[in-house]
Protein backbone atom coordinates (compact mmCIF):
# COMPACT_ATOMS: atom_id res chain seq x y z
CA UNK A 1 0.00 0.00 0.00
CA UNK A 2 1.33 3.44 -0.87
CA UNK A 3 2.38 5.97 1.77
CA UNK A 4 -0.36 8.29 0.47
CA UNK A 5 -3.00 5.65 1.22
CA UNK A 6 -1.60 5.18 4.71
CA UNK A 7 -1.96 8.89 5.46
CA UNK A 8 -5.63 9.02 4.50
CA UNK A 9 -7.25 7.80 7.68
CA UNK A 10 -10.89 6.89 7.66
CA UNK A 11 -13.68 6.00 10.02
CA UNK A 12 -14.66 2.35 9.56
CA UNK A 13 -18.10 1.25 10.74
CA UNK A 14 -18.12 -2.55 11.01
CA UNK A 15 -20.86 -4.96 12.04
CA UNK A 16 -20.25 -8.45 13.40
CA UNK A 17 -21.98 -11.53 14.80
CA UNK A 18 -25.37 -13.13 14.29
CA UNK A 19 -28.44 -11.31 15.57
CA UNK A 20 -30.98 -12.91 17.88
CA UNK A 21 -34.69 -12.48 17.15
CA UNK A 22 -36.62 -13.45 20.27
CA UNK A 23 -39.74 -15.60 20.07
CA UNK A 24 -40.37 -15.28 23.81
CA UNK A 25 -38.16 -14.18 26.74
CA UNK A 26 -36.02 -17.35 26.58
CA UNK A 27 -36.16 -18.57 22.95
CA UNK A 28 -34.85 -16.95 19.82
CA UNK A 29 -34.08 -17.40 16.11
CA UNK A 30 -30.41 -16.97 15.24
CA UNK A 31 -27.53 -18.44 13.24
CA UNK A 32 -24.05 -19.81 13.88
CA UNK A 33 -22.08 -16.68 13.01
CA UNK A 34 -19.33 -16.13 15.60
CA UNK A 35 -18.38 -12.57 14.70
CA UNK A 36 -14.72 -13.56 14.15
CA UNK A 37 -14.50 -12.00 10.69
CA UNK A 38 -16.00 -8.70 11.80
CA UNK A 39 -13.67 -8.53 14.79
CA UNK A 40 -10.66 -9.34 12.60
CA UNK A 41 -11.65 -6.54 10.22
CA UNK A 42 -11.98 -4.12 13.12
CA UNK A 43 -8.52 -5.03 14.41
CA UNK A 44 -7.01 -4.79 10.91
CA UNK A 45 -8.47 -1.33 10.27
CA UNK A 46 -7.33 -0.10 13.68
CA UNK A 47 -3.82 -1.49 13.11
CA UNK A 48 -3.23 0.83 10.14
CA UNK A 49 -4.51 3.87 11.99
CA UNK A 50 -8.17 4.05 11.06
CA UNK A 51 -10.85 4.96 13.56
CA UNK A 52 -13.17 2.00 14.10
CA UNK A 53 -16.68 1.63 15.46
CA UNK A 54 -17.67 -2.01 15.92
CA UNK A 55 -21.37 -2.84 16.20
CA UNK A 56 -21.59 -6.40 17.43
CA UNK A 57 -24.15 -9.05 18.27
CA UNK A 58 -21.33 -11.39 19.32
CA UNK A 59 -20.19 -12.18 22.85
CA UNK A 60 -16.51 -11.92 21.87
CA UNK A 61 -14.23 -9.47 23.65
CA UNK A 62 -13.71 -6.40 21.43
CA UNK A 63 -10.19 -5.21 20.54
CA UNK A 64 -8.77 -2.61 22.95
CA UNK A 65 -9.24 0.97 21.82
CA UNK A 66 -12.11 0.32 19.43
CA UNK A 67 -15.45 2.07 19.91
CA UNK A 68 -17.78 -0.81 20.73
CA UNK A 69 -21.56 -0.95 20.50
CA UNK A 70 -23.27 -4.12 21.68
CA UNK A 71 -26.60 -5.11 20.14
CA UNK A 72 -28.84 -8.17 20.11
CA UNK A 73 -31.47 -7.97 17.38
CA UNK A 74 -31.53 -6.86 13.76
CA UNK A 75 -33.62 -3.87 14.78
CA UNK A 76 -31.02 -2.81 17.36
CA UNK A 77 -28.23 -3.25 14.81
CA UNK A 78 -30.10 -1.12 12.28
CA UNK A 79 -30.62 1.62 14.87
CA UNK A 80 -26.91 1.59 15.74
CA UNK A 81 -25.81 1.66 12.09
CA UNK A 82 -28.04 4.66 11.41
CA UNK A 83 -26.63 6.44 14.47
CA UNK A 84 -22.96 6.03 13.48
CA UNK A 85 -23.34 6.03 9.70
CA UNK A 86 -23.35 9.84 9.56
CA UNK A 87 -19.70 10.06 10.56
CA UNK A 88 -18.28 7.00 8.84
CA UNK A 89 -16.28 6.75 5.61
CA UNK A 90 -16.68 3.01 5.12
CA UNK A 91 -19.34 0.55 6.22
CA UNK A 92 -18.49 -3.16 6.27
CA UNK A 93 -21.55 -5.30 6.92
CA UNK A 94 -19.86 -8.48 8.14
CA UNK A 95 -22.69 -9.37 10.52
CA UNK A 96 -25.08 -12.23 9.75
CA UNK A 97 -28.28 -10.26 10.24
CA UNK A 98 -31.42 -12.35 10.53
CA UNK A 99 -33.66 -12.13 7.47
CA UNK A 100 -36.83 -12.62 9.49
CA UNK A 101 -38.13 -11.82 12.95
CA UNK A 102 -41.27 -12.90 14.85
CA UNK A 103 -44.24 -10.70 14.04
CA UNK A 104 -45.40 -10.70 17.65
CA UNK A 105 -42.90 -12.03 20.22
CA UNK A 106 -44.62 -13.46 23.27
CA UNK A 107 -44.07 -11.54 26.49
CA UNK A 108 -44.32 -14.72 28.52
CA UNK A 109 -42.56 -18.05 28.01
CA UNK A 110 -44.44 -20.26 25.57
CA UNK A 111 -45.50 -23.42 27.39
CA UNK A 112 -44.91 -26.81 25.84
CA UNK A 113 -47.99 -28.65 24.64
CA UNK A 114 -48.93 -31.52 22.32
CA UNK A 115 -50.23 -29.06 19.70
CA UNK A 116 -48.26 -27.85 16.71
CA UNK A 117 -46.79 -24.38 17.07
CA UNK A 118 -46.83 -21.96 14.15
CA UNK A 119 -44.55 -18.93 14.14
CA UNK A 120 -45.48 -15.95 12.01
CA UNK A 121 -42.40 -14.08 10.79
CA UNK A 122 -41.84 -10.79 9.00
CA UNK A 123 -38.77 -9.53 7.11
CA UNK A 124 -36.18 -7.53 9.03
CA UNK A 125 -34.99 -4.17 7.71
CA UNK A 126 -32.46 -4.25 4.86
CA UNK A 127 -29.56 -2.37 6.44
CA UNK A 128 -27.37 -2.50 3.33
CA UNK A 129 -30.12 -1.11 1.11
CA UNK A 130 -30.62 1.78 3.54
CA UNK A 131 -26.88 2.49 3.69
CA UNK A 132 -26.50 2.59 -0.09
CA UNK A 133 -29.48 4.94 -0.34
CA UNK A 134 -27.78 7.36 2.07
CA UNK A 135 -24.13 6.88 1.03
CA UNK A 136 -23.93 10.26 -0.71
CA UNK A 137 -25.22 12.33 2.20
CA UNK A 138 -22.64 14.90 3.19
CA UNK A 139 -20.92 14.92 6.55
CA UNK A 140 -18.62 17.27 8.40
CA UNK A 141 -15.38 15.40 7.69
CA UNK A 142 -15.76 14.76 3.95
CA UNK A 143 -18.05 15.19 0.96
CA UNK A 144 -16.95 11.87 -0.58
CA UNK A 145 -19.53 9.09 -0.83
CA UNK A 146 -19.16 6.35 1.73
CA UNK A 147 -17.68 3.02 0.64
CA UNK A 148 -20.16 0.19 1.29
CA UNK A 149 -18.99 -3.42 1.61
CA UNK A 150 -21.29 -6.42 1.85
CA UNK A 151 -20.77 -10.13 2.51
CA UNK A 152 -22.46 -12.96 0.62
CA UNK A 153 -22.61 -16.44 2.12
CA UNK A 154 -23.47 -18.89 -0.66
CA UNK A 155 -23.75 -22.69 -0.49
CA UNK A 156 -23.83 -23.03 -4.29
CA UNK A 157 -23.07 -20.86 -7.32
CA UNK A 158 -20.87 -18.66 -5.15
CA UNK A 159 -19.89 -16.03 -7.69
CA UNK A 160 -23.31 -15.89 -9.35
CA UNK A 161 -25.14 -15.27 -6.09
CA UNK A 162 -22.58 -12.80 -4.78
CA UNK A 163 -22.44 -10.80 -7.99
CA UNK A 164 -26.22 -10.62 -8.04
CA UNK A 165 -26.13 -9.09 -4.56
CA UNK A 166 -23.33 -6.70 -5.57
CA UNK A 167 -25.38 -5.42 -8.50
CA UNK A 168 -28.84 -5.44 -6.93
CA UNK A 169 -27.76 -3.57 -3.81
CA UNK A 170 -25.32 -1.28 -5.69
CA UNK A 171 -22.45 -2.08 -3.35
CA UNK A 172 -18.86 -0.89 -3.75
CA UNK A 173 -17.46 -4.32 -2.87
CA UNK A 174 -18.77 -7.82 -2.20
CA UNK A 175 -16.93 -10.48 -0.21
CA UNK A 176 -18.16 -14.00 -0.93
CA UNK A 177 -17.60 -17.09 1.18
CA UNK A 178 -19.16 -20.46 1.91
CA UNK A 179 -20.86 -21.96 5.00
CA UNK A 180 -17.58 -23.68 5.92
CA UNK A 181 -16.29 -20.29 7.07
CA UNK A 182 -18.92 -19.92 9.79
CA UNK A 183 -17.28 -19.82 13.24
CA UNK A 184 -13.99 -21.06 11.73
CA UNK A 185 -10.62 -19.47 12.45
CA UNK A 186 -9.65 -19.68 8.79
CA UNK A 187 -11.53 -18.89 5.61
CA UNK A 188 -11.20 -18.46 1.87
CA UNK A 189 -13.00 -15.56 0.21
CA UNK A 190 -13.60 -14.15 -3.23
CA UNK A 191 -13.86 -10.40 -3.68
CA UNK A 192 -15.34 -8.25 -6.43
CA UNK A 193 -15.98 -4.59 -7.11
CA UNK A 194 -18.34 -3.29 -9.81
CA UNK A 195 -16.84 -3.72 -13.29
CA UNK A 196 -13.84 -5.50 -11.79
CA UNK A 197 -12.51 -9.04 -11.95
CA UNK A 198 -12.93 -11.57 -9.18
CA UNK A 199 -10.05 -11.76 -6.70
CA UNK A 200 -9.68 -15.11 -4.96
CA UNK A 201 -7.94 -15.14 -1.60
CA UNK A 202 -6.93 -18.71 -0.66
CA UNK A 203 -7.57 -20.18 2.77
CA UNK A 204 -5.83 -18.21 5.49
CA UNK A 205 -6.50 -16.98 8.99
CA UNK A 206 -9.34 -14.50 9.23
CA UNK A 207 -6.82 -12.04 10.62
CA UNK A 208 -4.76 -12.20 7.42
CA UNK A 209 -7.84 -12.09 5.20
CA UNK A 210 -9.02 -9.01 7.10
CA UNK A 211 -5.70 -7.24 6.58
CA UNK A 212 -5.96 -7.82 2.84
CA UNK A 213 -9.56 -6.60 2.74
CA UNK A 214 -8.69 -3.37 4.54
CA UNK A 215 -5.75 -2.88 2.18
CA UNK A 216 -8.03 -3.32 -0.84
CA UNK A 217 -10.54 -0.83 0.57
CA UNK A 218 -7.76 1.69 1.13
CA UNK A 219 -6.57 1.23 -2.44
CA UNK A 220 -10.07 1.54 -3.88
CA UNK A 221 -10.89 4.69 -1.93
CA UNK A 222 -7.54 6.40 -2.49
CA UNK A 223 -8.67 8.27 -5.60
CA UNK A 224 -12.41 7.67 -5.38
CA UNK A 225 -14.40 10.85 -5.66
* C-alpha to C-alpha distance for 82 and 3, rounded to whole angstroms: 32
b/e sequence 106-126, b meaning 16+ C-beta within 10 Å: eeeeeeeeeeeeeeeeeebbe
31 is catalytic: yes
| DSSP secondary structure string for all residues of 58-113 | S-SPPPTTSEEEE--SHHHHHHHHHHHHTT-SEEEE-SB--SEEESS--SSPPPP-
CA 152 vs CA 6, 43, 78, 169: distances in Å: 28, 21, 18, 12
Residues with a catalytic annotation lie at 31
Amino acid sequence: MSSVAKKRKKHFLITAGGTREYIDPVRFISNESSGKMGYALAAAAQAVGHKVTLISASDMQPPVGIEFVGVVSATEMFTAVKKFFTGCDCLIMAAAVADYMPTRPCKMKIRKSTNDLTLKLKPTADILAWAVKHKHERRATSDRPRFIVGFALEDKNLRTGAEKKLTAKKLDMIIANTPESIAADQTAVQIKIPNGHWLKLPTASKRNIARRVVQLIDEETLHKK
